[in-house]
Structures are given as structure tokens and as C-alpha cells.
Structure 1
Amino acid sequence: MAGNDLSTPLGLSKKKYLNLPLGLIGAGMMTLLGLTVLVWIGVVDDPLGGEPTASIPLERSLDGLTARDFGVVEIRPSLPDQGEDGAQALAGKEETLGPRFEPKPDGQQDAASMPDQDMPSLASGQGLSERPDSRVSESGPHGRLPTVSDNGLRPLDIYARPVGSSFASVPKIAIIVGGLGLSQTSTQAAIDRLPPDITLAFAPYGSSIDRWMQQARRSGHELLLQLPMEPFDYPDNDPGPHTLLVSNSPSEMQDRLSWLLSRITNYVGVMNYMGARFTASEGPLQQLLGEVTRRGLMYVDDGSSSRSMATAAANGLRTPFSHADLVIDDVPRPKDITARLLQLEGTARARGIAVGVASALPVTIDELERWARDLEERGLQLIPISASIDRAGQ
């Protein structure tokens, strides 16, 4: 027995492990702690020990919203997931935009009360019907013509693109891109690259116009037909064959209209192409709008002429009507198109809805495609032209 052991008080004898280096003891304790944590995570289902948690699904980023955008945001209570019943209950609480339906004479059923199969619907995905509906078409001297069915259903009702549910206070923008069917490259680019809610307007010329119409409808686009009308400098500035002239007799006007309206099918209405003189002439314009109304279509004034009498004439004849607030690409440069789109956004925020028209130029398609990507994140909604009908006082 060593001498120091004899001098140590009873009960305070030194243990041999106290002579171990302190670093080795620390390393052993850290290893034991690490193994304990790994076993805890691997065995216990909830490593947080039952602490309350919450998760929020984020469907889209709010980057880009400005302070004025928050004035149009509404919060609506969500319904539980109840399958088809829950979806139907939710649909009952959502607002759907579309054409304004006028009362029909006695004995005719209004389109708003028609059975579901009579109303416009999306087929597969974003696609719309591409074949003419026999209920709203008839044979004409130059081909198939739109008409109102026996029970009052209109081509406007059948071929309109349904608008998704939206908050009532969200500003809405309708865009029309015209001149389709003339250039294969531009037409294909507009159909493939532009959002389905952008309306496409076809010129009544071109050998493949019916094929382009079908492709556009399959892609979900609502369609207009552009009607060539007499400008003030006609014939130096000639819109094309079968142009509607103020000098046409009623029968000649009717024949030209029949030719133009039969160029394609499945469109919701017509829009002027040029026509500053024609739209400023009350008699010919009233004959045109009377025929448009009789055939169950809408009329769109492209806003290119300040002398147009279309608004007053459409109101008098109860023609489903809309007008453009500005031409987006009157100066076809990227920065100018961007400035016009921002101006259109301002009009929509001030009035609740705005309509812009453009041509199918490559630069226009590029800018519209870029502009539309984050439109909803900026608190705006894109709608087809039929959803802008009858903007009273605007």
C-alpha cells in the first residue's frame, strides 16, 4: 500500500479513473450525447416533442404587389374538401363573368335559363368547341352563317369562353390581337404563345383560315371576325375585297356581309378593320349593327376613330357591344408597348375593366407574353372580350 493511501481520510479514497486525461473524458461524453440524439430522432415520431405547428400552402408569390393592389384583395372563407359536393358549394359562392343576356320575346327561352348542355363549356383542358353548332348556324349564299336558334340561343352564348371565378373588385383587362390568318408565322405564334383569355381576331382572307380557327379554339381562345370597312381615304387606302362602303345599296351591303360572315365559324362577334368613314355614317352603321344583332353576335369598336358612332348606335339597337380603350402597339417598339400596357392597367384600376387591341406583330406577341406572366400577382385578371360587354357609361 502506498504511503499516500495511508494518509487519506476514510471515505475519500481517490479513484483511478480520476487520473484519466480530461480531454478523453469530454470526448466520451460528447459521443454519448450524440448517440442519444440520433436514437431519439430515429425512434420518436415527433422530434419536436408535441409542440404545436402550423403549415400554410403558398400557391403563388406576392412579389410585385404594390400598396394600391391591396385595395382590391378580398378574403373569402374556404370550404372543406368534400369532393363534388364541396366543389358545387364553392361554385355557388363564386362570381362568374360572361355575356349579358337580354330578355327574349314571349315563347322564347333566355340563354341564361337553358340547360347546362346548351351553355358554353370547356372541353378537355383549355380547349373550346371547334366545329360549328347546328343550332346557331344556317346555310347562306356563300357558306355557313351564324344565327339565333329557335329558342333564343345565340352564337355569342355558345362560343363565348367561360370566365373563371374571380373577386368582384379585381380589375379586369381584355386584350384583342387582330390580323390573324394572314401570316402563318404570326398566326401560329399568337395561338401557341398567348394566354387563352386573350381574344384572337381573324381577317376574312387567307386560304387556311378555317384550319387556323380550329387551332385557336383548341387552344382555348375566343374569336372575333374582322370586317373591312371604308376609311376616309378609300380607295387609296383599301382594306381589301368585299369592303363595306357607305355607297353600298342595302342589297349590296347584305351580300357583302353574307360573304364576310361566312369566312369562319365559332366566333362570338365582329370588329371593324379600319372604317373611320363607315363608322361615322349613321345609316350604313345601323344596317350593319342590325344584322349583327339579328345573328346573335357582339360588335367591338377598335377605338381607332374618334368620330365613330358605334356606341350610340349599339345602345339604340341593343347590340351586345364593347369598345377598345387604346391601341397597344400603335408604336411597335418594346418600350412603347410596355408603356401602353401600363396605361391599360391604370385604366382598369380606375374603371374596373379596360380593353386593348393590338396586331399580331412579333414584337407585340413577345411583349404580351411577357406582360401576362405575372398579371394575377399584380392584382389584375385577364378576360375574353365577351366578358366586357355593355360597360355602361365607359
Structure 2
Amino acid sequence: MTLTRLALLLLFFVSSHLHAAQVAIIIDDVGYRQSDKQVLQLPPQITLSFLPFTPLSHELSKQAYQQGHEIMLHLPMQALNGKAMGIGGINSDMNQRAINNILDKAIKDIPYAKGVNNHMGSFVTQLEQPMKWLMAELKQRNMFFVDSITTRYTKARSEADKAHVPNLRRTVFLDNDTSPQGLEHQFQHIIKLSKTHDHFIVIAHPHLETIEYLKENLGRLKHYNVQVIPVTQLLAARYKNTEGNITASSSAPLTK
């Protein structure tokens, strides 16, 4: 083996072990079911996003915060399919004062929330004005925003950028299919992305199948040099180096 080839192999070995992808995993839709309490079994590196005004939201978010989880508000927003968004949601008929009041009440229910991501919202996130009002209020409260990307026409992130609200966008939904095969398929997708991208967001839900899968498989990510971190740490990475940002997976549903 020539010295040049040996040097190249050594360089490849070192660089492959130095590269560490960082991923934030958000479990949202938390708060409705008694089974949602199982999220407390997940490690504190997992970020939890709570639906406001649900039976468990206030107390469970407090418990999760005390266990070290980063907490988010999963804010309901109007969808294209007309599906009921639940209490405390934003719709297209609201003015700025109404949106501010909704956000104020929701944050009082989830007081430890550092940021917001949208629940549904395929209609209202396409509308410039409500997104502008929402981002202005988040800016006042020093909160970040994660766009769940329920429509490819979302204006949430562009309005967040205009308002100087720290923001990220979802890349992968882990559990559209909660079968073992479906979860493993998306897990492999995460591993594949980690080889070419430094930072990205994964969203999952408090299905018992998802929680059990994560408990059994999160440790595998260390083998691929993938680090699970809270969203705020991923935001710090994004604003230090934006090269890791990628668009949402084309396999994700876009009409929620």
C-alpha cells in the first residue's frame, strides 16, 4: 500500500468518526390519554410537546419538566380537511388580539414551554397574516417555533424568519406507520440522513408502540454517531451553521 493511499484511508477513518449528526426528537400530541404518561419513561433528551387544555397537559408537562425534558406547546391550528382542532386553536377568522389571547391562555396551561409547534394547521399556516401575528407574539415571549410541515405551502417559517423568531422545520415523521416494520423503516431513514446532514428534526407521537420502540432502539443511534439533543440545542447549531437544514420528507402527510 502506498503512503498516499494509506493517508487517504486514515483521513477517511478519522473524518467518519469525527462527524456526529445531531437530531431532536419531538413527541407531540401529548395530553389526551392516560397512556400518554408513558412518555415519562423516555430519556430527558427527548423533547415533549403538549396539547393545551387537555386532561393531562398541565400536570404531565410539569412532571416532564421536573424530569429534565424540554417542553413545547403543541398549538392547534385550522386544517384544510375541516377536522376539529380542539380547544385553544388558531383559525383563519381570528384577529391579532384573538391569537394573542389564545397563545396567552395556552402558555398558562403549559407554563414551562420554551417553544411552539403546530398541531394540524395545513390551512392556517398557509396564510401570511395569522402567521405574522403569531410570530410577533412568540418574539415578544422569547419563544422558538418548529414548523411541523403539514402543507408544502406553509408560510410559518418565512414569517418566523422575518420576525427574527428562532425556528426549525420537521424533517421526518417517525410513526405514521406504528407497525414494527414501519417504525424500523423510518428509523433507518434517520440513520441514512445522519450520514449526509448534521442537524434535523424528527416528530413522533405518544403511541405505546412508538414509546416502546424508542426505549428499545434509541441506543442504536450511538453506533452511527448520532446524538439526540433538545430542540434548543439544535437551534443553537442551526444558527451557528445552517448547512444541516433540509426539507421535509416527501413521504410525510401534508394535509393535517
2:64 counterpart of 1:216: yes
**Alignment partner, residue 179 of structure 1:** 29
Which structure 2 residues correspond to residues 155-170 of structure 1 after superposition, within 5 A?
169-170=19-20
Alignment gaps of 5+ in structure 2:
1-11, 246-256
Letter in 2 for 1:252: A
2:39 counterpart of 1:190: yes
2:109 counterpart of 1:259: no
Supply the distance in 2 between the matched residues of 1:382 and 1:71 (Cα, whole angstroms).
20
**Alignment partner, residue 254 of structure 2:** none
Deviation at 1:229, TM superposition (A): 0.3
Cα deviation, 1:304-330, whole Å, max 9, x if unaligned, reads 221111221111111010111011111
Deviation at 1:190, TM superposition (A): 1.0
Supply the distance in 1 between the matched residues of 2:30 and 2:183 (Cα, whole angstroms).
19
1:257/1:207 Cα in 2 relative to 1: closer, same or farther (>3 Å)?
A: same
Give the secondary structure class of the aligned counterpart of 2:132: helix
Is the contact made by 1:195 and 1:372 (CA closer than 8 Å) also made in structure 2? no
Is the contact made by 2:52 and 2:88 (CA closer than 8 Å) also made in structure 1? no
2:128 counterpart of 1:279: no
Is the contact made by 1:328 and 1:340 (CA closer than 8 Å) also made in structure 2? yes
2:217 counterpart of 1:358: no
The structure, 1 or 2, with the larger RCO (C-alpha pairs under 8 Å, 6+ apart) is 2
| Of 225, 229, 232, the match for 2:80 | 232
Is the contact made by 2:33 and 2:56 (CA closer than 8 Å) also made in structure 1? no
Cα deviation, 1:64-88, whole Å, max 9, x if unaligned, reads xxxx9864324xxxxxxxxxxxxxx
1:294/1:347 Cα in 2 relative to 1: closer, same or farther (>3 Å)?
A: same
Is the contact made by 2:191 and 2:221 (CA closer than 8 Å) also made in structure 1? no
Structure 1: which 4+ aligned runs deviate by more than 3 Å? 68-72
Give the secondary structure class of the aligned counterpart of 1:363: helix
Bigger CA drift: 197-206 or 304-313? 304-313
Is the contact made by 1:72 and 1:379 (CA closer than 8 Å) also made in structure 2? no
Is the contact made by 1:303 and 1:327 (CA closer than 8 Å) also made in structure 2? no
Which structure 2 residues correspond to residues 303-342 of structure 1 after superposition, within 5 A?
303-342=149-188
**Larger strand percent:** 2
1:199/1:258 Cα in 2 relative to 1: closer, same or farther (>3 Å)?
A: same
Supply the distance in 1 between the matched residues of 2:104 and 2:69 (Cα, whole angstroms).
24
**Alignment partner, residue 349 of structure 1:** 195
**Larger helix percent:** 2
Cα deviation, 1:103-152, whole Å, max 9, x if unaligned, reads xxxxxxxxxxxxxxxxxxxxxxxxxxxxxxxxxxxxxxxxxxxxxxxxxx
Give the secondary structure class of the aligned counterpart of 1:262: helix
Letter in 1 for 2:202: G
Cα deviation, 1:203-229, whole Å, max 9, x if unaligned, reads 102244222122112222111111000
Supply the distance in 1 between the matched residues of 2:137 and 2:106 (Cα, whole angstroms).
12
Is the contact made by 1:177 and 1:359 (CA closer than 8 Å) also made in structure 2? yes
Give the secondary structure class of the aligned counterpart of 1:325: strand
Is the contact made by 1:199 and 1:221 (CA closer than 8 Å) also made in structure 2? yes
Supply the distance in 2 between the matched residues of 1:269 and 1:262 (Cα, whole angstroms).
13
Give the secondary structure class of the aligned counterpart of 1:304: coil
| Of 228, 233, 238, the match for 1:387 | 233
Q: Percent identity?
A: 22
**Alignment partner, residue 162 of structure 1:** none
The number of residues matched between the two structures is: 229
Is the contact made by 2:53 and 2:88 (CA closer than 8 Å) also made in structure 1? no
Which structure 2 residues correspond to residues 370-381 of structure 1 after superposition, within 5 A?
370-381=216-227
**Alignment partner, residue 202 of structure 1:** 50
Alignment gaps of 5+ in structure 1:
1-67, 75-168
The CA RMSD over aligned residues, in Å, is 1.8
Give the secondary structure class of the aligned counterpart of 1:178: strand
**Alignment partner, residue 126 of structure 1:** none
Give the secondary structure class of the aligned counterpart of 1:213: helix
**Alignment partner, residue 115 of structure 1:** none
Give the secondary structure class of the aligned counterpart of 2:220: coil
TM-score of the two chains, using structure 2 as the length reference: 0.84
Give the secondary structure class of the aligned counterpart of 1:331: coil
